[in-house]
Amino acid sequence: MTADDSLRGSEWNARERNETDTQRLDRNWSNLLQELRVVQTGIQLLTGFLLTLPFQARFPELRTYEQVIYLVTLGASVTSTILLVAPVALHRILFRRRALRQLVDYANRFAIIGFVLLGIAMSGVPIIIFGLVVGPVAGVVAGAVSACLFATVCVALPLRVRRTLGPQQ
């Protein structure tokens, strides 16, 4: 993004929405928080589920590669949870510091990385579950389908739409 793109975006917001830069940042922050509320509960439940797996009777039956997949999945889920909750902590620490621009920028980055890690976690869980219930081939297929679906719906489609819109607005 160039300075001209940013200026055009600001001009568009001022003209079309009749909002100042501060109002735009407030709206962006509010929208981001709403999006995070949608995924926070789900990722927290997924992380809680993953944390209980080692205490289940069949967990010792996991093959070495399944244990590695479990640990990668757990790591992705825990890290995603942290990143998707971090904007709230960041807001508390930066409260009344006039740092809304930095808050929105960091929270946006945390959310993007958190969503990617969520996709990794959501792809790892089917590998483990299907692997235990049906067999390793079914686990790999289920994980691949989940990864492809996430990549298509949550990454490729938004990027495609973004490219058709032109410069940042």
Cα 27 to Cα 51: distance, rounded to the nearest angstrom: 36
> For residue 99, what pLDDT is reported?
84
> For residue 57, what pLDDT is reported?
93
> For residue 9, what pLDDT is reported?
63
Cα 69 to Cα 121: distance, rounded to the nearest angstrom: 9
Q: CB-based burial of residue 159 (10 Å sphere; 0-12 exposed, 13-18 middle, 19+ buried)?
A: exposed
- Map residue 166 onto helix, strand or coil: coil
Percent with pLDDT over 90 in the chain: 76
pTM for this structure? 0.85
Cα 144 to Cα 137: distance, rounded to the nearest angstrom: 11
Split the chain (169 residues) into runs of 10 and give each run's mean pLDDT.
54 80 90 92 96 94 93 98 95 88 95 97 96 95 98 96 82
Give the number of other CB atoms < 10 A from CB of residue 135. Answer: 11
> For residue 114, what pLDDT is reported?
97
